[in-house]
A and B are shown apart, each in its own frame.
Chain A
Amino acid sequence: MANLDNLIHQPVRLRIVSSLSTLSEEESLEFTFLRDLHDLTDGNLGAHLRKLEEAGYVSLEKTFVDRKPRTFIALTRKGRKAFREHVKALEQILKDKP
């Protein structure tokens, strides 16, 4: 029986994790790309990413592209598993409750 994940359940974090789940394990999204995609502010996205990073659900890599600092965000294996479980749990609720 799959369990709901309280960390992922928060709507903004659900959007972030859902977006990252569409990529393969070797892929990552740039911070501003993710921010603009979901119409978030730097502070808002940063705060949610910190919580996800602390749980081990996302990994952040700071690097330089064309001499500009960039942060790339990827969903970890643990995060991917937690998201799958969360979606399963949601689907189970739809099946079980009339």
Chain B
Amino acid sequence: MDRNEAHESLEIARQSMELTRQAVARAGSGYILIIWGIVWLFGFLGSQFLGEAQGYLWLVLDVFGIVGMVVVILKSRSQVRSTHGKRIGIFWLILFVYGGLIFWIAGPILGDKYLLFITVFVSFGYVVMGLWFSPPLLYIGLGITALALVGWQLIPAYLGAWLALVGGGGLIASGIFILRGRA
């Protein structure tokens, strides 16, 4: 085999691997990011503008997020079978239990710090997921954390709206980015 043939074969392998990674990502994670982006966007907008009534909004949005995610997972399972799904589910469950424990031990965490705590904690989850199996999620997590802290320092009066924009908007944009196959 000559050099050109070897180069061509390596290029076929590289392109096939890239194509598969993108297709697998499109089969699940793109839609999941968009669903949780919508939850985040409207939830934090509610935190900014609705006052006490925000609790009901979060409840409705969380149910929407969980149902939507289950539907996407069940649909993508018919194309790609993986044990990752179970491990990812267990990871998020454990993360939220630990989040609750930290909240309980270190509390009371109120007002702006409460919104920031949720944002940073969920972003941490995305960072771990990114290190684990999907690099774009690492950058999404780090980016949202950095922008959340900037907003907290510079525009604390509009923190809820800011977090809705960078967190929810960021997740929706990332989901669309993955679905278009660029990630």
Consensus secondary structure, chain B interface: helix
Contact B9 A9 (CB under 8 A): yes
Interface string of B143-180 (1 = CB under 8 A from A): 00000000000000000000000000000000000000
B19 contact set on A, CB distance < 8 A? 19, 37-38
For B, the interface residue count at a CB cutoff of 8 angstroms equals: 26
* A21 in contact (CB, < 8 A): yes
Contact A70 B3 (CB under 8 A): no
Tell whether A27 pairs with B1 under 8 Å between CB atoms, given A14-B12, A65-B77, A90-B10. Answer: no
A-B contact sample (14 more), CB < 8 A, given A19-B16, A19-B19:
A14-B9, A16-B16, A18-B17, A21-B17, A22-B21, A22-B24, A26-B84, A27-B82, A27-B83, A29-B80, A29-B81, A30-B78, A37-B20, A65-B77
Bound CA span A9–B1, Å: 11
* B23 in contact (CB, < 8 A): yes
Tell me, rounded to whole Å, the shortest Cβ–Cβ distance linking B78 to chain A. Answer: 5
B residues sitting closer than 8 Å to A (CB atoms) are 1-3, 6-7, 9-10, 12-14, 16-17, 19-21, 23-24, 27, 77-84
Contact B12 A11 (CB under 8 A): yes
Q: Tell me the residues in window 81-98 of chain A with beta carbons closer than 8 Å to chain B beta carbons.
A: 87, 90-91, 93-94, 97-98
Bound CA span A59–B79, Å: 16
B10 contact set on A, CB distance < 8 A? 87, 90-91, 94
Bound CA span A4–B13, Å: 14
Tell me, rounded to whole Å, the shortest Cβ–Cβ distance linking B49 to chain A. Answer: 42
* A24 in contact (CB, < 8 A): yes
Contact A30 B79 (CB under 8 A): yes
Tell me, rounded to whole Å, the shortest Cβ–Cβ distance linking A18 to chain B. Answer: 4
Q: Tell me the residues in window 1-59 of chain A with beta carbons closer than 8 Å to chain B beta carbons.
A: 4, 9, 11, 14-16, 18-24, 26-30, 32-33, 37-38
B17 contact set on A, CB distance < 8 A? 18-19, 21-22
Contact B9 A65 (CB under 8 A): no
Tell whether A18 pairs with B13 under 8 Å between CB atoms, given A4-B1, A30-B79, A72-B81. Answer: yes
